[in-house]
A = this chain, B = another copy of it.
């Protein structure tokens, strides 16, 4: 590592969805093995293993304090634990300070809500998981229903698996299409969803507003001010 090293920091926190991070990490670490001015790190409040929303736990390589000024930031999402994390001052404070100076600020799924709480989405187009899209309005962002959306140096992806598409785009943006294509071959990313692409006419869960209200009420019972701020943005 030299002074010119460009550090891509993948942020972890309790209860997150690990695929949000592991997909992009695999792609961008592949880039770092070719374009050696880059390196990837996994950043947590401490170096203790963090829980996820499945039985797997993930071990950070660095603490927030050790990576104050990354070149790029990627924040994964999740369901209720990510809403709870909006009240995590250390996490949101790290995103605010690291994000203010980063060349690239990115998120997957509801990670964009965390960027929003850190003040990084004001007046920007942003994506998130489809179930939580309306909440983006609470942070002054303009919600868009895209696989990923680029607004200046802030690039946010849709839910969970969209992080892989986002990351391949980042590789293309940073080092070009040829390396991005090689990485796509290395991870054999040639998707064949057994039931085909999503057919939105078959979307589950019906009306999202009551579901979102229920989730906010459960997740943020101890944070009434935050809860009420978000409850004002649950759609029509």
Contact = CB atoms under 8 A, between A and B. Distances in A.
Nearest to A55: B61
Contacts of A181: 195, 202, 204
Given A22-B18, A56-B22, A165 B185 contact: no
Contact of A56 (B19, B42, B168): B42
* Copies of the protein in its oligomer: 2
A165 B193 contact: yes
Interface in A155-186: 158-162, 164-165, 168-169, 172, 177, 180-182, 184-186
B191 A165 contact: yes
Contacts of A182: 204
Interface in A195-223: 195, 197-198, 202-204
Contact of A188 (B42, B160, B190, B192): B160
Contact of A195 (B25, B41, B177, B193): B177
A164 B161 contact: yes
Given A19-B23, A195-B168, A190 B147 contact: yes
Interface in A18-44: 18-19, 22-23, 25-26, 29, 40-42
